Amino acid sequence: DLAQIGVSGLAVMGRNLARNLARNGFSVALHNRTSARTKSLVAEHGDEGTFVPTETLEEFVAALERPRRVVIMVKAGAPTDAVIDELVPLLDEGDIVIDCGNAHYADTRRREADLRERGLHFVGAGVSGGEEGALLGPSIMPGGSKESYATLGPMFEKIAAHVDGTPCCVHVGPDGAGHFVKMVHNGIEYADMQLIAEAYDLLRDGLGASAADLSRIFAEWNTGDLASFLIEITAEVLGHTDAATGQAFVDVVLDQAEQKGTGRWTVQTALDLGVPVTGIAEATFARALSAHPEQRDAAREALPGPARGSVPVSDRDAFVDDVRKALYASKVVAYAQGYDQMAAASAEYGWDIDLGAMATIWRGGCIIRARFLDRIKDAYAEERPASLLVAPYFRDAVAEGQEAWRRIVAHAAKAGIPTPGFSSALAYYDALRADRLPAALIQGLRDFFGAHTYKRVDREGTFHTLWGGDRAEVEA
Ligand code: NDP
C-alpha cells in the first residue's frame, strides 16, 4: 500500500509531525538522511498508526501515492535546498513538495517559482507551536497554489490545533505568503515577550516584590483580557525555584537573550516595505543590547542615574493595574504594526491575505495564542480598519488604558527602568494621532541641504526654496 503523505527530516519537529499525521489516520512514509532516526521513530511509536519507513529518497518517493505529498522538515537554509535538489528529479508532474521548516519567505518564493517551472507544486508552510504543537496540533500557515491546498488542506486542517471547532490552518496565499505570515508571527512573539519582560521588571523594582509574588500576579492576569499562552508560562517560569540554589529560577539565569533570527528578518523586511514595526524592532534590539556584556559592564560603572526602586509606589494595587493596562495597550500597538506589515506585503506581492483569518489560525497551537485574537478576528470581520488601533474595540480599550500607560512610561523614565517596548508603543500611538508631525521640519531641512523639495499644505505642486540665495520659493 502506498502512503498518503511522506515526511523527510525526522528530528524533533518532523518526528512529531509524522506522528501527528499517523495518529490522525494518515499513512506516512518516513525518511531521514541518517536512517537511525527513522528506525527509532518506528521502534518507539510504530504502534501509533501506519508508518512506511524508507532508507533512501528513491524508496521514499516510490512509497508515496500520486500526486505525491512530500513534507520536508529539515534545517532551514542550505540543507532545505540540498534536499529539494535531490528530491525533484525523482518526482512527477503535479507532485507537491511542502517545506514546513522556518524558511525565509524570499527563499520560498524562489523555490516555488523554480519548482513551478518544472511542473511541481511547492508549498512553504509555516508551522508554529514547537515540539509539542507539532505532535498535538500546531498552527499551520501554508502558502503555495490553491490547487495544492485543495489536496493538502484537508490533511493539515485535521492535524492542526482546533479552537471552537475551527482548525488553526488556512490557505494564506500564493508562494511565500505562508512563510511571511509565520515570520510576522514570530516577530510579534518577540514583541509580546519583551512587553511581558518590561512589565515584570517594572513590578519587580517598583514593588520590590519577589518572583513568586509576581508569578501570582501574572496568573491573575491570565484570567482576563491578557489571557494567553505567554502570560500563562510567565507565571510558571516566575514561580519556579532553582533546585541547586533554592533561589528563584529567574534570578539564576544569565540575563543575555539569544535569538535565532526570525525577529531580525521581520524587522529587515519591514524596513524594505516601509512599515514601522517599532514594537518588534525594539524587542529585537533589546535582546541584542542584553547580549553585549562588555558594554554593559563599562556603562554600569560609568553612567549615573536613579537607583532602581528609588521612586516610591504609594498604591501598590493601582500600580499593578496600571502596568497591566500599559502592557495591554502596548500589545495592541505591536499587533497593529504586525498586521500593517502583513497588509503591506500582501499588497506588494498580490497575496490577498485575509488578515482576520490570520488571527483565527493563531488562536490555538502557536506561541502567541491568546484570547485577544478573537477581538482581532472581529476587527477584520467587516471593513478592513486603517489600523487595528482605530478598530472600535481596540480604540476603546486603549483609550481606557492610556492614562495608566502614560503614568507607567513616566514612572519608568523617572525610576531609570528601561521600557523600550512600552515607551516606543506610546510614542507610536501619539505620533499616529497627531494633528501635525515635525516631519514638516524634516522636509525643510532636506530641502535646505539637498534641494530635496517639499509640498505645501495650501497649494498643489512641488517646491524648493533658494536657501543659498534670496530664499525665494520656486516651483520644482
Ligand atoms: P533541525 O533544525 O535541528 O534539523 C535537523 C534535521 O535536518 C535532521 O533531520 C537532519 O538530518 C536534517 N538535515 C540537516 N542538514 C541536512 C542536509 N544537508 N541534508 C539532509 N538533511 C539534513 O530540526 P528541528 O526538528 O528542530 O526543525 C526542523 C525545521 O523546523 C527547521 O527548519 C526549524 O527551523 C523548523 N521549526 C522548528 C521549531 C522548533 O521548535 N524546533 C518550531 C517551528 C519550526 P540528520 O538526522 O541526518 O542530521
Q: Given this model, what pLDDT does residue 154 score? A: 97
Q: Given this model, what pLDDT does residue 383 score? A: 87
| 160, pLDDT greater than 90 | yes
Q: What is the mean pLDDT of residues 206-235?
A: 96
Average pLDDT for the chain = 97
Candidates 10, 13, 132: which one to mutate for ligand 1, based on the most atoms within 8 Å of Cβ?
13
Distance 75 CA to ligand 1 centre (A): 4
Contact indicator for 325, 132 with CB cutoff of 8 Å: no
Q: Given this model, what pLDDT does residue 142 score? A: 98
Distance 193 CA to ligand 1 centre (A): 25
Distance 351 CA to ligand 1 centre (A): 28
Segment 179-211, tens digit of pLDDT: 999 999 999 999 999 999 999 999 999 899 999
Beta carbon of 9 within 6 Å of any ligand 1 atom: yes
Candidates 17, 75, 179, 181: which one to mutate for ligand 1, based on the most atoms within 8 Å of Cβ?
75
CA distances from 69 to 6, 65, 111 (A): 6, 8, 16
CA dihedral 359, 363, 367, 371 (to 10 degrees): 100
Q: Which DSSP string corresponds to 12-23?
A: HHHHHHHHHHHH
Segment 119-144, tens digit of pLDDT: 999 999 999 999 999 999 999 999 99
Segment 237-258, tens digit of pLDDT: 999 999 999 999 999 999 999 9
Distance 11 CA to ligand 1 centre (A): 6
Q: Given this model, what pLDDT does residue 212 score? A: 97
Q: What size, in residues, is the chain?
A: 476
Q: Given this model, what pLDDT does residue 37 score? A: 98
Q: Given this model, what pLDDT does residue 80 score? A: 98
Beta carbon of 260 within 6 Å of any ligand 1 atom: no
Q: What is the mean pLDDT of residues 23-51?
A: 98
The C-alpha atoms of residue 184 and residue 358 are separated, in whole angstroms, by 11
pTM above 0.80, yes or no: yes
Segment 78-108, tens digit of pLDDT: 999 999 999 999 999 999 999 999 999 999 9
| 346 Cβ contact partners less than 8 Å away, ≥ 6 residues apart | 173, 177, 352, 353, 355
Which of 100-109, 363-372, 435-444 has the least mean pLDDT?
363-372
- Using 50, 70 and 90 to split pLDDT, how confident is the model at 466? very high
Q: Given this model, what pLDDT does residue 206 score? A: 87
* Residue in the structure block whose three cell numbers are 501527528: 20
Residue nearest to atom 6 of ligand 1 (CA): 74
Neighbours of 311 (CB within 10 A): 17
Nearest ligand 1 atom to alpha carbon 131: 40
Instruction: Determine the residue type at 447.
Output: D
| 310, pLDDT greater than 90 | no
Q: Given this model, what pLDDT does residue 308 score? A: 84
Q: Given this model, what pLDDT does residue 467 score? A: 98
